[in-house]
Structure 1
Amino acid sequence: MIQTTYFKTKKVCKVKFSFNGALAEKVELFGLNNDWQTPVVMTRKKDGSFAAEVSLPNNSKQEFRYLINGTDWVNEPDTEQSWNEYGTTNSVINL
């Protein structure tokens, strides 16, 4: 799940990413700002879900994927999808 908060005086949007993965031990978020090398490590919450908050530029298109336990790539189901160079899809949010 994704929640966005826009600020009238800032050129960034606060984006909260949530991932519900019952079998996940570690969830990382890749691709924001076109950075596929440096993950955003998501924090496990008491209910077992994972969350991360990131500030991203307004009026930007962000492609991303979740990496579960270092092996399984997963998309956010409630977002637009875009084909990537590997023949799979990335999640897309437009801010």
Structure 2
Amino acid sequence: MIQKTYLKTKDQCKVKFTVSIENADKVEVVGLNDDWDNPIEMNKKKGDTFEIVQSLPKNTHHEFKYLVNGSEWRNDPEADGEAPNEFGGTNSILAV
């Protein structure tokens, strides 16, 4: 799930990423702000749920993926869309 909260006083949007993945020990968000080299680790909640809140600039588009346990790539089914990537798959798209 992706929740967007637009700030009235700043050109920022707080984006809350929430994902449930069975048997995951670690989930990271990769690709925000076109940064594929520095994954952002999500916080583990009850059960198999992970979440994180990130501030992103308004009127921007981001391609991202979830990295599960350091080896499995997943898209977000509730993203704003998908775009082809250079590996023959797709990345999730977030429009802020």
TM superposition score category, shorter chain reference? over 0.9
**What is the TM-score of this pair, normalised by structure 1?**
0.96
| Residue 89 of structure 1: aligned partner | 90
Q: Which runs of 5+ in 2 are unaligned?
A: none
Partner amino acid, structure 2, of 1:82: A
Aligned residues: 95
How far off is 1:78 after superposition?
A: 1.7
Asked whether the equivalents of residues 29 and 40 of structure 2 are also in contact (C-alpha less than 8 Å), the reply is yes
Partner amino acid, structure 1, of 2:90: T
| Residue 7 of structure 1: aligned partner | 7
**What is the TM-score of this pair, normalised by structure 2?**
0.95
What is the CA–CA distance in structure 2 between the aligned matches of 1:13 and 1:69, rounded to whole Å? Answer: 28
Alignment of structure 1 residues 29-48 onto 2, 5 Å: 29-48=29-48
1:10-44, CA deviations, whole angstroms, 9 ceiling, x for partnerless residues? 01100000110111110010000000000110010
1:59-87, CA deviations, whole angstroms, 9 ceiling, x for partnerless residues? 00011000000110000012200001111
Partner SS for 1:33: helix
Runs of at least 4 residues of structure 1 off by over 2 A? Answer: none
Partner SS for 1:53: strand
What is the CA–CA distance in structure 2 between the aligned matches of 1:8 and 1:59, rounded to whole Å? Answer: 14
What is the CA–CA distance in structure 2 between the aligned matches of 1:2 and 1:91, rounded to whole Å? Answer: 11
What is the CA–CA distance in structure 2 between the aligned matches of 1:38 and 1:8, rounded to whole Å? Answer: 29
